[in-house]
C-alpha cells in the first residue's frame, strides 16, 4: 500500500487502517513514497492500494477504486509566523509567497499562478516558513499542528479558518476491487461504534511521539 512519506496525517491514517485491515484478517504493508509517486504506484498496480486521498483523484488515476466510506476529515489550513494578518480564503494568499507540498492536488490547484515554492516533505515545508523563504504554508490541520510541536525557533501560528475541507478515503487498485465493499462496511461499523475515532485519537498522540523521537535522534547523529 502506498502512502505519502514523512507526513503526520498519513502516519495517523496508516496506524488506523492497519487495524481496519486486521479486523478483516488482512495484512497491510506500507510503502512510503513522495506524494505523486505514491498515486502512480497504486494506479499502475505496483502496490495494491493508496492509503488516504480526497475523492476526486479517481478522475486522474482511473485504475483506483474509492472505498465509499471516508475515515478521516481533512481541513486545509494556512500557517505563518506569529502575528501575521488573518488568512480566511485562498484569495488572501495572493500577495504573499506560499509554500505547498509536491503532489498534493488541492493546494497545487488553488495556488496555481501564485508566488509559490514546492516542498518535498513536511519538514522541508516548515523549514521554508521558519527560514523566511515563504510567508505562509498550506497543509492539512493535523500535519501542521503536529509539525509545529516539533519546532523551536520563531513562533508559528495556524490561521483558524479552513481554506478547504474534504472527507478522506482509502483506494484500492482495480484488481482488488472485491475488497472495496468489505472495507467500507468495516469502516462504517467502526465509526458507528466510536472505535474509529478512538484509534484516530491514539494515533495522533503516537505519531507526535514518534516524530519527536525521530527528530531528536537525527539531531544527535548530526552533531
Of 164, 189, 210, the position where a domain reaches its end is: 164
pLDDT of residue 177: 96
pLDDT of residue 9: 95
pLDDT of residue 90: 98
Measured CA to CA, the distance from residue 115 to residue 121 in angstroms comes to 19
Give one DSSP letter per residue of 103-148, joined into a string.
Answer: T-HHHHHHTTTSSEEEESSHHHHHHHHHTTS-SEEEEEHHHHHHHH
pLDDT of residue 215: 63
pLDDT of residue 220: 47
Measured CA to CA, the distance from residue 68 to residue 102 in angstroms comes to 26
| Whether residue 82 is found in the same domain as residue 155 | yes
Q: Which run of H or of E encompasses 35?
A: helix 35-44
Burial (Cβ within 10 Å: 0-12, 13-18, ≥19) of residue 71: buried
Maximal CA-CA distance, the chain: 51
| Whether residue 173 is found in the same domain as residue 116 | no
pTM here is 0.87
Q: What is the pLDDT along the chain (223 residues), one digit of tens a residue?
A: 999 998 999 999 999 999 999 999 999 999 999 999 999 999 999 999 999 999 999 999 999 999 999 999 999 999 999 999 999 999 999 999 999 999 898 999 999 999 999 999 999 999 999 999 999 999 999 999 999 988 888 899 999 999 999 999 999 999 999 999 999 999 999 999 999 999 999 999 999 898 887 765 554 454 5
| Whether residue 45 is found in the same domain as residue 82 | no
Instruction: Report the domain count for the chain.
Output: 2
| Whether residue 88 is found in the same domain as residue 160 | yes
Beta-carbon neighbour count of residue 134 at 10 Å?
A: 24
| Whether residue 120 is found in the same domain as residue 138 | yes
Measured CA to CA, the distance from residue 153 to residue 126 in angstroms comes to 11
| Whether residue 11 is found in the same domain as residue 56 | yes
CATH number, domain containing residue 202: 3.40.190.10
Of 164, 185, 208, the position where a domain reaches its end is: 164
| Whether residue 85 is found in the same domain as residue 157 | yes
Task: Find where cell 521558519 sits.
Answer: 130
| Whether residue 142 is found in the same domain as residue 84 | yes
| Whether residue 116 is found in the same domain as residue 190 | no
Give one DSSP letter per residue of 50-94, joined into a string.
Answer: EEEEEGGGGGT-TTEEE-SS--EEEEEEEEEETTPPP--SGGGGT
Q: Let me know: does 157 contact 84? Beta carbons within 8 Å.
A: yes
Q: Let me know: does 163 contact 90? Beta carbons within 8 Å.
A: yes
Of 164, 185, 203, the position where a domain reaches its end is: 164
Q: Which residues contact 220 (CB under 8 A, 6 or more apart)?
A: none
| Whether residue 28 is found in the same domain as residue 106 | no
pLDDT of residue 205: 93
Which among 106, 146, 122 has a CA at the least distance from the CA of 3? 122
pLDDT of residue 103: 87
| Whether residue 65 is found in the same domain as residue 105 | no
| Whether residue 124 is found in the same domain as residue 174 | no
Q: Domain of 212?
A: 2-72+167-222
β-strand 64-66 against 116-119: which pairing, if any? Answer: unpaired
Amino acid at each position: 500500500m502506498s502512502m505519502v512519506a514523512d507526513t503526520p496525517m498519513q502516519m495517523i491514517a496508516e496506524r488506523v487502517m492497519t487495524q481496519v485491515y486486521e479486523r478483516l484478517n488482512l495484512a497491510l504493508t506500507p510503502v512510503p513514497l513522495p506524494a505523486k509517486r505514491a498515486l502512480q504506484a497504486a494506479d499502475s498496480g505496483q502496490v495494491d492500494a493508496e492509503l488516504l486521498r480526497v475523492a476526486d483523484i479517481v478522475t486522474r488515476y482511473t485504475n483506483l477504486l474509492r472505498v465509499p466510506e471516508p475515515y478521516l476529515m481533512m481541513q486545509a489550513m494556512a500557517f505563518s509566523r506569529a502575528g501575521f494578518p488573518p488568512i480566511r480564503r485562498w484569495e488572501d494568499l495572493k500577495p504573499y509567497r506560499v509554500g505547498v507540498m509536491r503532489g498534493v492536488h488541492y493546494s497545487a490547484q488553488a495556488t496555481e499562478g501564485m508566488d509559490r515554492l514546492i516542498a518535498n516533505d513536511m519538514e522541508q515545508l516548515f523549514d521554508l516558513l521558519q527560514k523566511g523563504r515563504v510567508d505562509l504554508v498550506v497543509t492539512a490541520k493535523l500535519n501542521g499542528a503536529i509539525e509545529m510541536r516539533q519546532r523551536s525557533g520563531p513562533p508559528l501560528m495556524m490561521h483558524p479558518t479552513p481554506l478547504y475541507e474534504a472527507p478522506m478515503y482509502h483506494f484500492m487498485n482495480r484488481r482488488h476491487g472485491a475488497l472495496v465493499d468489505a472495507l467500507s462496511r468495516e469502516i462504517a461499523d467502526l465509526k458507528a461504534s466510536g472505535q474509529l475515532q478512538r484509534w484516530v485519537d491514539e494515533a495522533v498522540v503516537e505519531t507526535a511521539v514518534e516524530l519527536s523521537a525521530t527528530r531528536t535522534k537525527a539531531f544527535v547523529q548530526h552533531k
